[in-house]
Amino acid sequence: MYVLLINPRYPFGGNQIWLNMSIVAVAAQLTHLGHAVDLLDLNIDELDEQAVKAAEMIGVSIFGAAYIPGTVELIARLQQMNPLAKVIVGGQTAERLTTEQFGHIFGQTTIQGNQNGLAEAIGCTANEIPKAETVSFIPVWKRMGEGKLVPYLEHEGTLVVSDGCRYNCGFCAASKNRPEYFRNLVEFEADLRYLIEVAKRHGLKELRFYASSLDFFQNPTTVRRYLEILALVQTENGVAVRTRCLSSMTSFLQASRTIPNFGSLLSQAGLWCVALGVDGSDKAVWQAQNKKQNSLSVLTKCLDLGKQIGLTVEILMVFGFPEDTFRTIWKTVWLSLTAVLKYNVIVRPYLAKSAVPGNEGWKTQNETVKAITSDYRRFYDLDFCVIGSSLTDRNQWHRWISNVAYVLICLLSLIGKSTTWPLLPQGENGLYGKIATVFNRLMPFDR
């Protein structure tokens, strides 16, 4: 079967170039089964009508709720160009919609891209599809060609280390509350060496990655082996590999006690930045969001550790939860400013959306979910960089103070102490929606 996999365009305007390993992993699985697979990235490529018409199956991978509106419109074009092709939409957001919701949004003929849906589309059983963490990505990159691969290597890409998280944070829509699955160590090293070889042939001195792990240090004994490989391949090949990661605060501290020569190994591996999941400042709010492991004392220990070993620390600050009050929101603002002044950290603020496909609110907030799914453009409003709207926060006072606090922390970007830029809800019709769309195109990409 000839399969065309499409990486959709960044939903808020502009072309965001990054090596998305999720779509590469699916391509690797299909290649392993003998299918011919091409990748099309709409951030770089025009929609190739000839490839679309030739494809027996077309897959689109979405990376968050904000990608849904553009994907709905893209599918209409694809089905018009090739009405006989099977169209499948994958990615964690698509997988976490109910069957009824998915069919209503994307159409009854579009296949939901979970393991069973993919198996049905290619005519096999789910058990016959190799696990993504076990297959080599190299055949996919070779088919892509170095001419298309090198522009990705000039930008930051995803470094696939693991998937899954033992925690069950209420607002999180990722793959959580389950054991962490690691990429096969042999394939991890081979893929990394291949990318380094390509980089060397084209004169690149550095590769930049963001690790896929939801909690990088949650299994410190295992992750140590991946860090050692990162250190080894750089020493042998002379190309620097600069990696940043996300970690819970407790896992970061536990890893520092478990891994010998912790700071030295991180430095040798090129792991230069860790983003800590702080997500507020109040014990009661943390408990309501199933983040009971968090505390201010743990945060202080993490910041002291980062300073001691020379690691750049970011504090990932999701806030504006329904349980937040005026007091807790401004406490969060003060904590963010204090951390910048005292520890020189970078703050990455995000505004919580209580109902997003896959999180706890999506299961319980029936009226909000109904309003979102009834108009696919409203999925734009669910991005965590977007300020709150009446759809995502019905309490006007709560929404106002959350939005003001969020924008205030984002202003730290002007002095290089934040990487987040606020976006406006652009899912509404009329003049406001058009103004919001233009404004969002002016905002730099979230990192």
pLDDT digits (tens, 9 = 90+) for 3-39: 999 999 999 988 899 988 999 999 999 999 999 999 9
Report, in angstroms and rounded to the nearest whole number, the Rg of the chain calculated over CA atoms: 22
- pLDDT tens digits along 433-443: 899 999 999 99
Residue 266 in tokens: 């991180």
Q: What is the pLDDT of residue 256?
A: 97
* 273: CB partners within 8 A, 6+ apart: 244, 245, 311, 312, 313, 314
Q: What is the pLDDT of residue 37?
A: 97
- Residue 384: pLDDT band (50, 70, 90) is very high
- pLDDT tens digits along 68-98: 999 999 999 999 999 999 999 999 899 999 9
Mean pLDDT, the chain, integer: 95
- pLDDT tens digits along 232-284: 999 888 899 999 999 999 999 999 999 999 999 999 999 999 999 999 999 99
Q: Report the side by side order of strands in the sheet with 206-211.
A: 157-159, 206-211, 240-247, 271-277, 312-319, 346-351
8 Å CB contact between 339 and 318? no
Greater pLDDT, 337 or 433: 337
Q: What is the pLDDT of residue 117?
A: 92
Residue 364 in tokens: 């319980």
- pLDDT tens digits along 290-305: 999 999 999 999 999 9
**How far is the C-alpha of 304 from the C-alpha of 345, rounded, in Å?**
11
Whether the pLDDT of residue 177 is over 90: the answer is no
Chain-centre distance for alpha carbon 348? 14
Ramachandran angles phi, psi of 198, nearest 5°? -65, -45
* 219: CB partners within 8 A, 6+ apart: 162, 180, 182
Q: What is the pLDDT of residue 302?
A: 98
**How far is the C-alpha of 205 from the C-alpha of 196, rounded, in Å?**
9
- 42: nearest Cα among 65, 26, 63: 63
Distances (CA, A) of 421 to 5, 80, 295, 339, 401: 30, 36, 27, 19, 18
* Ordered structural domains, the chain, with CATH: 2-132 (3.40.50.280), 156-277 (3.30.750), 281-298+313-447 (no CATH)
Q: What is the pLDDT of residue 290?
A: 93
3-state secondary structure the chain: CEEEEEECCCCCCCCCCCCCHHHHHHHHHHHHCCCEEEEEECCCCCCCHHHHHHCCEEEEECCCHHHHHHHHHHHHHHHHHCCCCEEEEECHHHHCCCHHHHHHHHCCCCEECCHHHHHHHHCCCHHHCCCHHHCCCHHHHHHHCHHHHHHHHCCCEEECCEECCCCCCCCCCCCCCCCCEECCHHHHHHHHHHHHHHHHHCCCCEEEEEECCCCCCCCHHHHHHHHHHHHHHHHHHCCEEEEEEEECHHHHHHHHHHCCCHHHHHHHHCEEEEEEECCCCCHHHHHHCCCCCCCHHHHHHHHHHHHHHCCEEEEEEEECCCCCCHHHHHHHHHHHHHHHHHHCCEEEEEECCCCCCCCHHHHHCHHHHHHHHHCHHHHHHHCCCECCCCCCCCCHHHHHHHHHHHHHHHHHHHHCCECCCCECCCCCCHHHHHHHHHHHHHCCCCC
Q: What is the pLDDT of residue 231?
A: 96
- pLDDT tens digits along 347-371: 999 999 989 998 989 989 989 999 9
Q: What is the mean pLDDT of residues 182-198?
A: 97
* 232: CB partners within 8 A, 6+ apart: none
Residue 55 in tokens: 């494809």
- Residue 447: pLDDT band (50, 70, 90) is confident
Whether the pLDDT of residue 129 is over 90: the answer is yes
Whether the pLDDT of residue 446 is over 90: the answer is no
The reported pTM is: 0.94
Q: What is the pLDDT of residue 2?
A: 97
Residue 141 in tokens: 């990159």
- pLDDT tens digits along 133-160: 999 999 999 999 999 999 999 999 999 9
Q: What is the mean pLDDT of residues 295-320?
A: 97
- Residue 309: pLDDT band (50, 70, 90) is very high
Whether the pLDDT of residue 430 is over 90: the answer is no
**How far is the C-alpha of 269 from the C-alpha of 312, rounded, in Å?**
14
